[in-house]
Amino acid sequence: MTDTKTLSTDIQEFLQSATAEEKEVLQQFLNGLKQKHAGDHPSYVSGWLQAEGKWNEDGSYQMRIPIHKGIQNPLEIVHGGVTATLMDTCMGTLANHSTPAEKAAVTLEIKVNYLKPGKGNYLYCRTEVISQSSKTLFLTSTIKDENDQTIAFGTGTFYVIDFLA
Protein backbone atom coordinates (compact mmCIF):
# COMPACT_ATOMS: atom_id res chain seq x y z
CA MET A 1 0.00 0.00 0.00
CA THR A 2 1.17 3.46 -0.90
CA ASP A 3 2.10 5.61 2.13
CA THR A 4 0.86 9.19 1.66
CA LYS A 5 3.84 10.77 3.35
CA THR A 6 6.35 8.81 1.30
CA LEU A 7 4.46 9.55 -1.92
CA SER A 8 4.31 13.24 -1.04
CA THR A 9 8.06 13.39 -0.36
CA ASP A 10 8.71 11.43 -3.54
CA ILE A 11 6.75 13.96 -5.59
CA GLN A 12 8.46 16.96 -3.95
CA GLU A 13 11.84 15.48 -4.75
CA PHE A 14 10.84 14.81 -8.35
CA LEU A 15 9.60 18.37 -8.80
CA GLN A 16 12.98 19.78 -7.78
CA SER A 17 14.75 18.20 -10.75
CA ALA A 18 11.80 17.98 -13.19
CA THR A 19 11.87 19.86 -16.49
CA ALA A 20 9.08 22.29 -17.41
CA GLU A 21 7.72 19.67 -19.81
CA GLU A 22 7.68 16.97 -17.16
CA LYS A 23 5.80 19.25 -14.79
CA GLU A 24 3.25 19.92 -17.49
CA VAL A 25 2.79 16.20 -18.08
CA LEU A 26 2.38 15.57 -14.34
CA GLN A 27 -0.19 18.38 -14.20
CA GLN A 28 -2.15 16.80 -17.09
CA PHE A 29 -2.09 13.42 -15.37
CA LEU A 30 -3.23 14.97 -12.09
CA ASN A 31 -6.14 16.66 -13.92
CA GLY A 32 -7.22 13.25 -15.19
CA LEU A 33 -6.86 11.67 -11.75
CA LYS A 34 -9.02 14.38 -10.20
CA GLN A 35 -11.67 13.81 -12.88
CA LYS A 36 -11.58 10.08 -12.11
CA HIS A 37 -11.93 10.88 -8.37
CA ALA A 38 -14.97 13.03 -9.17
CA GLY A 39 -16.60 10.07 -10.89
CA ASP A 40 -16.21 11.36 -14.45
CA HIS A 41 -14.46 8.23 -15.75
CA PRO A 42 -15.07 4.48 -15.45
CA SER A 43 -11.31 3.77 -15.58
CA TYR A 44 -7.97 5.45 -14.86
CA VAL A 45 -7.16 5.03 -18.54
CA SER A 46 -9.99 7.28 -19.72
CA GLY A 47 -9.06 9.59 -16.83
CA TRP A 48 -5.48 9.71 -18.10
CA LEU A 49 -6.90 10.64 -21.54
CA GLN A 50 -9.18 13.25 -19.92
CA ALA A 51 -11.83 11.91 -22.28
CA GLU A 52 -15.12 13.81 -22.48
CA GLY A 53 -18.03 11.83 -23.91
CA LYS A 54 -21.16 13.00 -25.69
CA TRP A 55 -24.20 11.11 -26.96
CA ASN A 56 -25.47 12.10 -30.38
CA GLU A 57 -29.10 12.00 -31.42
CA ASP A 58 -28.41 9.56 -34.25
CA GLY A 59 -27.27 6.93 -31.72
CA SER A 60 -23.57 7.48 -32.28
CA TYR A 61 -21.23 8.41 -29.45
CA GLN A 62 -18.24 10.68 -29.46
CA MET A 63 -15.27 11.49 -27.25
CA ARG A 64 -12.86 14.40 -27.19
CA ILE A 65 -9.38 14.36 -25.67
CA PRO A 66 -6.88 17.21 -25.27
CA ILE A 67 -3.49 16.79 -26.95
CA HIS A 68 -0.46 17.48 -24.76
CA LYS A 69 3.19 16.37 -24.48
CA GLY A 70 2.23 13.37 -22.33
CA ILE A 71 0.46 11.58 -25.19
CA GLN A 72 2.82 12.43 -28.05
CA ASN A 73 5.55 10.27 -29.53
CA PRO A 74 9.11 11.50 -30.17
CA LEU A 75 7.97 12.88 -33.57
CA GLU A 76 5.56 15.20 -31.67
CA ILE A 77 2.45 13.56 -33.06
CA VAL A 78 -0.13 11.72 -30.95
CA HIS A 79 1.20 8.27 -30.01
CA GLY A 80 -0.47 5.52 -32.05
CA GLY A 81 -1.28 3.66 -28.85
CA VAL A 82 -3.21 6.67 -27.54
CA THR A 83 -5.22 6.85 -30.77
CA ALA A 84 -6.02 3.14 -30.38
CA THR A 85 -6.90 3.64 -26.71
CA LEU A 86 -9.24 6.51 -27.58
CA MET A 87 -11.01 4.29 -30.12
CA ASP A 88 -11.21 1.28 -27.83
CA THR A 89 -12.59 3.45 -25.02
CA CYS A 90 -15.12 5.15 -27.27
CA MET A 91 -16.20 1.84 -28.85
CA GLY A 92 -16.30 0.10 -25.45
CA THR A 93 -18.53 2.78 -23.95
CA LEU A 94 -21.01 2.60 -26.82
CA ALA A 95 -20.88 -1.22 -26.96
CA ASN A 96 -21.62 -1.52 -23.24
CA HIS A 97 -24.36 1.09 -23.53
CA SER A 98 -25.90 -1.02 -26.32
CA THR A 99 -26.02 -4.29 -24.34
CA PRO A 100 -28.50 -5.26 -21.60
CA ALA A 101 -27.69 -4.10 -18.04
CA GLU A 102 -26.69 -7.57 -16.81
CA LYS A 103 -24.19 -8.02 -19.66
CA ALA A 104 -20.82 -6.50 -20.51
CA ALA A 105 -19.14 -6.10 -23.89
CA VAL A 106 -15.41 -6.82 -24.20
CA THR A 107 -13.12 -6.14 -27.15
CA LEU A 108 -12.58 -9.19 -29.36
CA GLU A 109 -10.51 -7.34 -31.97
CA ILE A 110 -9.78 -3.83 -33.11
CA LYS A 111 -7.98 -2.50 -36.17
CA VAL A 112 -6.78 1.08 -36.49
CA ASN A 113 -5.69 2.72 -39.76
CA TYR A 114 -3.56 5.80 -39.21
CA LEU A 115 -4.27 8.31 -41.97
CA LYS A 116 -2.68 11.61 -40.93
CA PRO A 117 -0.48 12.78 -38.03
CA GLY A 118 -2.53 13.65 -34.92
CA LYS A 119 -1.76 17.29 -34.18
CA GLY A 120 -3.40 20.42 -32.73
CA ASN A 121 -5.29 20.89 -29.46
CA TYR A 122 -7.88 18.13 -29.50
CA LEU A 123 -8.81 14.79 -31.07
CA TYR A 124 -12.44 13.92 -31.69
CA CYS A 125 -13.58 10.28 -31.98
CA ARG A 126 -17.03 9.43 -33.36
CA THR A 127 -18.24 5.84 -33.00
CA GLU A 128 -21.29 4.01 -34.26
CA VAL A 129 -22.71 0.50 -34.06
CA ILE A 130 -22.90 -0.94 -37.59
CA SER A 131 -24.27 -4.36 -36.72
CA GLN A 132 -25.35 -6.16 -33.56
CA SER A 133 -26.42 -9.68 -32.64
CA SER A 134 -27.12 -11.15 -29.19
CA LYS A 135 -23.46 -12.14 -28.82
CA THR A 136 -21.40 -9.65 -30.83
CA LEU A 137 -21.33 -5.99 -31.86
CA PHE A 138 -19.43 -4.45 -34.75
CA LEU A 139 -18.50 -0.77 -34.55
CA THR A 140 -16.59 1.80 -36.58
CA SER A 141 -14.76 4.89 -35.32
CA THR A 142 -13.51 7.99 -37.11
CA ILE A 143 -11.00 10.24 -35.38
CA LYS A 144 -10.66 13.83 -36.57
CA ASP A 145 -8.54 16.76 -35.49
CA GLU A 146 -9.98 20.23 -34.77
CA ASN A 147 -9.68 21.14 -38.47
CA ASP A 148 -12.04 18.28 -39.36
CA GLN A 149 -9.23 16.27 -40.96
CA THR A 150 -9.71 12.51 -40.54
CA ILE A 151 -6.55 11.23 -38.87
CA ALA A 152 -7.58 7.65 -38.10
CA PHE A 153 -10.29 5.10 -38.89
CA GLY A 154 -11.04 2.00 -36.85
CA THR A 155 -13.18 -1.11 -36.84
CA GLY A 156 -13.84 -3.31 -33.83
CA THR A 157 -15.74 -6.40 -32.77
CA PHE A 158 -17.03 -6.67 -29.21
CA TYR A 159 -18.18 -9.85 -27.54
CA VAL A 160 -21.08 -9.88 -25.07
CA ILE A 161 -20.44 -11.68 -21.77
CA ASP A 162 -22.37 -12.09 -18.53
CA PHE A 163 -21.36 -9.38 -16.15
CA LEU A 164 -19.87 -10.87 -13.01
CA ALA A 165 -20.60 -8.27 -10.34
Tell me the C-alpha distance between 163 and 104, whole Å: 5
* 95: amino acid identity, one letter: A
The residue (of 76 and 146) whose beta carbon lies closer to its own copies is 76
Q: How far is the CB of 138 from its own copies (least distance, A)?
A: 5
Give whichever of 6 and 57 is closer to its own copies, judged by the CB atom: 6
- Least distance to its own copies, CB of residue 99, Å: 13
Contacts of 139 (CB under 8 A, 6+ apart): 91, 94, 95, 127, 128, 129, 130, 155, 156, 158
The CA distance from 53 to 65, in Å, is 9
Of 82, 44, 50, nearest to 66 (Cα)?
50
3-state secondary structure of 53: strand
CB-wise, 98 or 140, nearer to its own copies?
140
CB of 104 to its own copies, least distance (A): 6
DSSP H helices in 18-140 = 20-37, 44-49, 80-97
Q: Min. distance of Cβ 56 from its own copies in angstroms?
A: 20
Nearer to its own copies, 56 or 92 (CB): 92
